[in-house]
């Protein structure tokens, strides 16, 4: 039913929010919310809009759902409460994010990282611009999103669910909007670190437009939304290779090496979303929707790499001359001098370009006799290239040849600062070369690594439901088939000076403004664009023909057949009503990986190419139950129990394995030698699996606009995934030349399924409008929550293990004022330390322990009221990361001065306006 919404009208807050929650219930692809909204409570008649309206709608979405969920809703067409989807989601109770270049791009639910949740777009599974399944939320412009639901408990008909949660991103449905809307917006941004690299910017902008309309007596609806972003992000980073020494007398911990960069990112993104709805008849609805995003993240990375405390490449360090202090694990050198240091000036490039396509067709039938059904087809594809170019320069070719530096250093909790004696900005001193002889016999003045990734997903779904009378209100049956494929093709080259030279001067025409590393005490460095030097022929590319390159390639396919049966419950119980569902989902998985391995098969002493294809198939049966006791007094008690899974990271399923003969009987898993051992991916991996129980107590008040909620949860991880050595049968593989193995049973070093463990916790959250205290505080309120999660996960050897992305504590809160068009709010979010994802060589992921962080944001705005000459215009100013909170990772000892990464993103300020016709 179309409900016309009149902005600025006088309405009952609870009735309005409940109606809006009902009309924005999940679309055809996931039938997950209660169909009957809670009764609207009689309350004062007030005017609501903007942020308060968004909160009220989200609170009622939470209240009316039979699943345990959190929700964030756009304040208006094309206007989420925050600058990005990731930031809006990260403010929900029990949810937080990890920043990339200052952007909140991946989400952690209940203290666990993105590998343990699943993201849907309009109820359909999605491909990603990242390496694995986790969706990176900066691939979606916030301006095309209408609502986001985070499901913390599953139901049988929730297809594509995750282990700790399922994030469902929703776009506009035009027939639900009920009126014509034309809105345009523009926003300018400023990065207060300035333009750190030559050619970078400190100012950026966004523009967006949304059009929604209905035709043919409201039987045809059209929604179009487009957004374009061109924004800079700046980063000052300290990075250590690690820390040398043992902490014992005469061998204090000391920085082993420095690889620090100033990074300037220019993010250009164009996104467009369209939806066409056609009410074919009162019983049939046809919906066609599509989304496209072009994503270009171009980074200039300039800095210096210094070999230090490990004593590599001739560097010397005398601990007796250093300032050594006692730390938790022994002595730590917080100051001293390194001599004979040969630095490598780096002018690197990292560019990620991606095209993401997503869409689907749905036909829904709603019969007059209680029968309903839908057919749905979904498609998602991401074509991505990640180009990483490293460029080296220094004082001369090879170690021990060029001028060396004597460098004083000081290490503290913010990293290490330096006092060099050389001028690294002098182009007569710094030349293009291989300063430390990394290329061996080859003059390697850099490295070119392009990763070409293609990810495609097709989803087909059929659902049938019948309304019932009695304790069971409805029965659902459905089938789903998902076909996904992902491939990686590496394209790698050595970068060398042209014409066989060992070193070459940087052409004067290629020199750019020096990059200032003064924040580390290193001063300015020589700067240039390596892409221009390659294009001009100063540097040349030489293909890397090593077998390691094709061995990185892989192709992975997954075919999932899912069937579900679910019964909905609705039963009056005197002072309230019992609602919910129970059912079962059965999933058959067929997974396969193709790739290349190298082993000496013919005995000529050189490795031979072996084309491999290996996979597995298996069943998962996932029962689930959700019960909600809803009392007339506003109390809701929820109990949920389920079996949950999360599929392995896609690149962990790769078949690329290197292997050979091991003659050491002491290492043999069978006691027989010789045997085969190897390392690589594991195409036989099974999912993470857990048994879960949730219990919620919720109290709703203030006409449905306020809520206080306590959530308790426990998950028994019966199957976990961890890197280890596992017994592996090499029967499908060609036998290496040499001694014939006594058995095909050997070892594989890879990701394996382990026994697991458990995790449990509690979340306390609230949304409180202050007018429940006194009418003098009308417009003021607070929303937020705090979550605690404890894990007891074991690795394959039975030792305690840390789950990637796991934070013990997460918290967030927003204090707001929103009345008569004026709005102001300040937000803070916190997460304790966690195992974070960083970008390693060539874009490959690496994980390190990150310190806890606290992020503070604020926004003020004004919407011109009805009757004003500027009616329809909204203006606002936002400030992000106002305390300039850094992102810090730590060495593997609890010494606060042993910093691995210290990244400062600076503050960001944005000012914008939207106008709705």
The secondary structure element, H or E, covering residue 321 is: none
Cα of 711 vs its chain's centroid, Å = 24
Q: Is the pTM of this model over 0.85?
A: yes
Which pLDDT score, from 0 to 100, does residue 332 have?
Answer: 93
Which pLDDT score, from 0 to 100, does residue 39 have?
Answer: 38
Q: Average pLDDT in the 850-879 region?
A: 93
pLDDT exceeds 50 at position 2: no
pLDDT exceeds 80 at position 366: yes
Which pLDDT score, from 0 to 100, does residue 42 have?
Answer: 39
Q: What angle do CA 790, 793, 794 make, to 5 degrees?
A: 150
Tell me the torsion sign for CA atoms 727, 731, 734, 735: positive
Which pLDDT score, from 0 to 100, does residue 77 have?
Answer: 60
| Residues 910/195, Cβ–Cβ less than 8 Å | no
pLDDT exceeds 60 at position 1: no
Local confidence band at 809 (pLDDT 50, 70, 90 cut-offs): very high
Alpha helices in 141-246 (DSSP H): 174-177
Least confident of 190-194, 793-797, 840-844: 840-844
Residue 59 CA: distances (Å) to CA of 71, 699, 701: 7, 11, 10
Q: Nearest-CA neighbor of 875 among 819, 913, 822?
A: 913
pLDDT exceeds 50 at position 3: no
Least confident of 75-89, 325-339, 355-369, 877-891: 75-89
Give bridge partners of residue 586 from the DSSP assignment.
563, 621
Over residues 300-317, the pLDDT tens digits come to: 999 999 999 998 899 999
Full DSSP string of 181-203: EEEEEEEEEEETT---STT--SE
HEC-encoded secondary structure of 242-282 = EEECCCECCECEEEEEEEEEEEEEEEEEEEEEEEEEEEEEC
pLDDT exceeds 60 at position 780: yes
Q: Nearest-CA neighbor of 417 among 197, 263, 234, 238?
A: 238
pLDDT exceeds 80 at position 10: no
Locate tokens 């606290």: which residue? 854
What whole-number distance in Å separates Cα of residue 50 and Cα of residue 569?
35
Q: How does 38-73 read in b/e, with b if 16+ C-beta sit within 10 Å?
A: bebbeeeebbbbbbbbbbbbbbbbbbbbbbbbbbbb
Least confident of 29-43, 49-63, 151-165, 192-206: 29-43
Local confidence band at 777 (pLDDT 50, 70, 90 cut-offs): very high
Over residues 611-640, the pLDDT tens digits come to: 888 899 999 999 999 999 999 999 999 999
Percent of the residues in the chain that have a pLDDT greater than 70, as a whole number: 92
Give bridge partners of residue 567 from the DSSP assignment.
475, 582
pLDDT exceeds 90 at position 505: yes
pLDDT exceeds 50 at position 504: yes
Local confidence band at 35 (pLDDT 50, 70, 90 cut-offs): very low
Q: Nearest-CA neighbor of 769 among 222, 44, 158, 195?
A: 44
Which pLDDT score, from 0 to 100, does residue 25 have?
Answer: 38
| Residues 354/383, Cβ–Cβ less than 8 Å | yes
pLDDT exceeds 70 at position 29: no
φ/ψ of residue 887, rounded to 5 = -110, 115
Q: What's the mean pLDDT when you consider all of the chain?
A: 88
| Residues 227/208, Cβ–Cβ less than 8 Å | yes
Contacts of 423 (CB under 8 A, 6+ apart): 429, 523
Look at 569 and 146; give whichever has higher pLDDT. Answer: 569
Look at 755 and 273; give whichever has higher pLDDT. Answer: 273
Contacts of 742 (CB under 8 A, 6+ apart): 670, 672, 673, 674, 675
Three-state DSSP class for 621? strand
Which pLDDT score, from 0 to 100, does residue 298 have?
Answer: 95
Cα of 897 vs its chain's centroid, Å = 28
pLDDT exceeds 80 at position 70: yes
Q: Average pLDDT in the 162-184 region?
A: 91
Which pLDDT score, from 0 to 100, does residue 609 have?
Answer: 80
pLDDT exceeds 60 at position 17: no
- Give the tokens for residue 356: 């993401």
Q: Average pLDDT in the 251-278 region?
A: 94
**Cα end-to-end distance, the chain, whole Å:** 24
β-strand pairing of 323-327 with 688-701: unpaired
Three-state DSSP class for 665? helix
What whole-number distance in Å separates Cα of residue 807 and Cα of residue 418?
33
What whole-number distance in Å separates Cα of residue 137 and Cα of residue 128?
9
Which pLDDT score, from 0 to 100, does residue 455 have?
Answer: 96
Contacts of 864-872 with CB under 8 Å at 24 or more apart are: 864/821, 865/8, 865/820, 865/821, 866/8, 872/915, 872/916, 872/917
Q: Average pLDDT in the 535-545 region?
A: 95
| Residues 137/104, Cβ–Cβ less than 8 Å | yes
Three-state DSSP class for 27? coil
Which pLDDT score, from 0 to 100, does residue 661 have?
Answer: 84
Contacts of 605 (CB under 8 A, 6+ apart): none
Please provide the size of the chain in residues: 917
pLDDT exceeds 90 at position 690: yes
Look at 547 and 337; give whichever has higher pLDDT. Answer: 337
Percent of the residues in the chain that have a pLDDT greater than 90, as a whole number: 66
The secondary structure element, H or E, covering residue 625 is: strand 608-631
What whole-number distance in Å separates Cα of residue 542 and Cα of residue 563?
52
What whole-number distance in Å separates Cα of residue 137 and Cα of residue 104?
8
Three-state DSSP class for 21? helix
Residue 579 CA: distances (Å) to CA of 35, 225, 463, 600, 643: 10, 36, 21, 64, 20
pLDDT exceeds 80 at position 82: no
Local confidence band at 664 (pLDDT 50, 70, 90 cut-offs): confident
pLDDT exceeds 50 at position 423: yes
φ/ψ of residue 771, rounded to 5 = -70, -10
Helix axes 13-23, 50-64, angle to 10 degrees: 60
What whole-number distance in Å separates Cα of residue 312 and Cα of residue 563?
59
Which pLDDT score, from 0 to 100, does residue 290 have?
Answer: 96
Residue 226 CA: distances (Å) to CA of 185, 186, 211, 869: 10, 12, 9, 27
Which pLDDT score, from 0 to 100, does residue 616 have?
Answer: 94
What whole-number distance in Å separates Cα of residue 515 and Cα of residue 517?
6
Cα of 560 vs its chain's centroid, Å = 24
φ/ψ of residue 146, rounded to 5 = -100, -35
Q: Average pLDDT in the 365-387 region?
A: 96
What whole-number distance in Å separates Cα of residue 836 and Cα of residue 852?
11
Which pLDDT score, from 0 to 100, does residue 76 have?
Answer: 65
Q: Average pLDDT in the 541-548 region?
A: 90
Q: What angle do CA 693, 696, 701 make, to 5 degrees?
A: 165
Three-state DSSP class for 93? coil
Full DSSP string of 592-618: EEEEEEEE--SSSSS-EEEEEEEEEEE
What is the chain's alpha carbon radius of gyration, rounded to the nearest angstrom? Answer: 29
HEC-encoded secondary structure of 476-500 = EEEEEEEEEEEEEEEEEEEEEEHHH
Q: Average pLDDT in the 435-441 region?
A: 93
Look at 730 and 510; give whichever has higher pLDDT. Answer: 510
Q: Nearest-CA neighbor of 299 among 102, 127, 444, 454?
A: 102
| Residues 425/524, Cβ–Cβ less than 8 Å | yes
pLDDT exceeds 50 at position 340: yes
The DSSP output letter for 552 is H
């Amino acid at each position: 039913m179309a409900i016309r919404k009149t902005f600025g009208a006088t309405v009952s807050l609870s009735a309005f929010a409940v109606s809006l929650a009902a009309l924005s219930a999940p679309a055809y692809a996931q039938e997950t919310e209660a169909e009957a909204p809670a009764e609207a409570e009689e309350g004062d008649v007030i005017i609501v809009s903007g942020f308060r309206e968004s909160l009220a709608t989200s609170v009622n979405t939470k209240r009316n759902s039979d699943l345990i969920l959190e929700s964030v809703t756009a304040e208006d067409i094309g206007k989420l409460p925050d600058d990005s989807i990731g930031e809006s989601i990260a403010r929900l109770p029990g949810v937080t994010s990890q920043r990339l270049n200052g952007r909140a791009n991946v989400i952690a639910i209940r203290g666990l990282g993105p590998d343990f949740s699943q993201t849907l777009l309009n109820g359909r599974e999605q491909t990603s611009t990242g390496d694995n399944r986790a969706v990176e939320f900066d691939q979606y412009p916030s301006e095309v999103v209408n609502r986001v639901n985070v499901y913390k408990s599953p139901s049988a008909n929730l297809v594509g669910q995750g282990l700790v949660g399922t994030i469902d991103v929703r776009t506009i449905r035009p027939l639900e909007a009920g009126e014509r809307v034309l809105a345009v917006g523009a926003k300018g941004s400023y990065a207060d670190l300035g333009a750190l690299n030559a050619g970078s910017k400190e100012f950026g902008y966004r523009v967006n437009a949304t059009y929604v309309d209905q035709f043919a007596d409201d039987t045809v609806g059209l929604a179009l939304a487009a957004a374009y972003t061109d924004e800079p992000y700046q980063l000052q980073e300290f990075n250590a290779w690690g820390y040398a020494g043992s902490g014992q007398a005469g061998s204090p911990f000391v920085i082993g090496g420095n690889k620090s960069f100033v990074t300037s990112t220019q993010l250009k993104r164009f996104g467009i979303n369209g939806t066409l709805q056609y009410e074919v008849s009162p019983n049939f609805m046809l919906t066609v929707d599509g989304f496209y995003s072009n994503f270009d993240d171009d980074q200039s990375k300039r800095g210096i790499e210094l070999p230090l405390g490990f004593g590599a490449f001739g560097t010397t360090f005398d601990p007796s001359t250093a300032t050594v202090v006692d730390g938790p694990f022994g002595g730590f050198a917080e100051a001293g001098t390194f001599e004979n240091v040969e630095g490598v000036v780096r002018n690197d490039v990292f560019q990620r370009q991606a095209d993401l396509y997503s869409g689907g067709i749905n036909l829904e039938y709603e019969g007059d006799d209680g029968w309903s059904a839908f057919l749905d087809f979904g498609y998602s594809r991401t074509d991505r290239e990640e180009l990483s170019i490293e460029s080296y320069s220094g004082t001369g070719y090879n170690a021990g040849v060029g001028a060396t530096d004597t460098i004083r250093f000081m290490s503290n909790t913010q990293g290490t600062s330096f006092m060099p004696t050389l001028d690294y900005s002098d182009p007569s001193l710094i030349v293009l070369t291989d300063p430390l002889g990394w290329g061996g016999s080859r003059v390697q003045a850099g490295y070119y690594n392009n990763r070409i990734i293609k990810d495609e997903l097709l989803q087909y779904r059929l659902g049938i439901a019948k309304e019932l009378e009695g304790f069971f209100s409805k029965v659902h049956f459905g089938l789903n088939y998902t076909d996904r494929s992902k491939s990686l093709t590496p394209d790698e080259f050595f970068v060398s000076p042209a014409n066989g030279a060992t070193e070459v001067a940087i052409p004067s025409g290629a020199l750019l403004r020096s990059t200032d590393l003064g924040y580390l005490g290193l001063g300015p460095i020589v700067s240039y664009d390596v892409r221009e030097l390659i294009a001009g022929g100063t540097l040349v590319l030489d293909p890397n023909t090593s077998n390691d390159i094709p061995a990185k390639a892989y192709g992975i396919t997954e075919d999932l057949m899912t069937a579900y049966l679910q019964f909905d419950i609705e039963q009056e119980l005197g002072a309230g009503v019992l609602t919910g569902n129970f059912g079962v989902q059965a999933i058959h998985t067929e997974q396969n990986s193709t790739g290349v391995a190298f082993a000496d098969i013919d005995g000529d002493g050189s490795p031979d190419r072996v084309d491999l294809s290996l996979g597995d198939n298996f069943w998962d049966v996932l029962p689930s139950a959700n019960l909600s006791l809803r009392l007339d007094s506003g109390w809701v008690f929820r109990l949920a129990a389920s079996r949950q899974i999360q599929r392995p990271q896609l690149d962990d399923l790769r078949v690329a394995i290197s292997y050979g003969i091991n003659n050491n009987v002491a290492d043999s898993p069978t006691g027989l030698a010789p045997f085969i051992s190897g390392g690589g991916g594991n195409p036989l991996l099974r999912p993470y699996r857990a048994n879960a129980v949730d219990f919620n107590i919720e109290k709703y008040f203030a006409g449905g606009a306020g809520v206080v909620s306590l959530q308790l949860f426990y998950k028994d991880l019966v199957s976990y995934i961890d890197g280890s050595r596992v017994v592996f049968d090499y029967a499908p593989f060609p036998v290496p030349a040499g001694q014939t193995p006594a058995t095909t049973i050997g070892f594989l070093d890879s990701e394996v399924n382990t026994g697991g463990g458990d995790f449990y916790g509690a979340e306390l959250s609230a949304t409180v409008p202050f007018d429940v205290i006194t009418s003098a505080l009308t417009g003021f309120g607070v929303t937020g929550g705090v979550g605690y999660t404890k894990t007891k996960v074991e690795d394959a050897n039975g030792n305690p293990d840390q789950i990637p992305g796991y934070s013990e504590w997460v918290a967030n809160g927003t204090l707001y004022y929103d009345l008569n068009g004026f709005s102001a709010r300040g937000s803070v979010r916190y997460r304790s330390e966690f195992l974070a994802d960083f970008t390693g060589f060539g874009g490959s992921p690496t994980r390190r322990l990150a310190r806890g962080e606290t992020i503070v944001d604020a926004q003020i705005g004004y919407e011109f009221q009805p009757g004003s000459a500027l009616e329809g215009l909204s203006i606002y100013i936002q400030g992000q990361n106002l305390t300039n909170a850094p992102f810090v990772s730590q060495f593997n000892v609890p010494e606060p001065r042993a910093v691995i990464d210290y990244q400062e993103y600076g503050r960001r300020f944005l000012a914008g306006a939207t106008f709705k016709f």
